[in-house]
Amino acid sequence: MDELDQRLLAALKRDGRASLSELAHDLGVTRTTIRVRMERFVKSGEIVGYTVVTRADVATSPVRGLMMLSIEGKGTDRIMQRLAGMPEVSAVHTTNGSWDLIVEIGTGTLEDLDEVLFAIRRLDGVTRSETNLLLSTRRAIRRGGQTAGRP
């Protein structure tokens, strides 16, 4: 994967609905180049599909947060399995730095979120945590060389 492939994938992640013309303009290449590379991504399995996130998708979990966890010893795999089995957990990410895991959580109420956070903190091996509520989600998009936000 070359630099243009990486830039194209990043542009698609920012705005999956961007037209071939927009992508070509933003990346400084022809529409044909974009079309061929996108077809190659789909054929190779690099792009496995396209999706839409609707307001209803977010409304099912109106209270969302990211919980960073420090894990003691070699318990990361075991804790990841436990987290993956919790219906409120939408994703578990391994990371570098001071945190071992970042957990995406969604619940219906703050009280429900508090219960989930408490349950996660009680897992054997979790030594430290920090949680941030997600207040809103916006995707950065490029329009005419400028970056703009949209809900």
The answer to whether 150 touches 141, Cβ cutoff 8 Å, is yes
Q: In terms of Cα–Cα distance, which of 139, 150, 134 is closest to 51?
A: 139
For 54, phi and psi rounded to 5 degrees?
-100, 170
- As annotated, the residues of the chain forming the CATH 1.10.10.10 domain(s) are 3-51
Q: How much is the mean pLDDT over the chain? A: 86
Task: Name the residue with tokens 């992508």.
Answer: 23
Q: In terms of Cα–Cα distance, which of 85, 112, 111 is closest to 103?
A: 85
Position 53 scores a pLDDT of 64
Report d(CA 105, CA 119) in Å as an integer.
12
DSSP output for 99-146: -SEEEEEEESSHHHHHHHHHHHHTSTTEEEEEEEEE----EEEEETTE
The answer to whether 20 touches 35, Cβ cutoff 8 Å, is yes
Report d(CA 56, CA 53) in Å as an integer.
8
- As annotated, the residues of the chain forming the CATH 3.30.70.920 domain(s) are 55-134
Which residues face 32 on adjacent strands? none
Q: What is the CATH number of domain 55-134?
A: 3.30.70.920
- Report pTM: 0.57
Average the pLDDT over 79-94 and give the result: 91
Local confidence band at 58 (pLDDT 50, 70, 90 cut-offs): low
Local confidence band at 21 (pLDDT 50, 70, 90 cut-offs): very high
Position 116 scores a pLDDT of 97
Position 139 scores a pLDDT of 58
Structure tokens at 33: 């180049």
| Residue 86, amino acid | M
The CATH fold of domain 3-51: Arc Repressor Mutant, subunit A (1.10.10)
pLDDT of 117 > 60? The answer is yes
Position 12 scores a pLDDT of 85
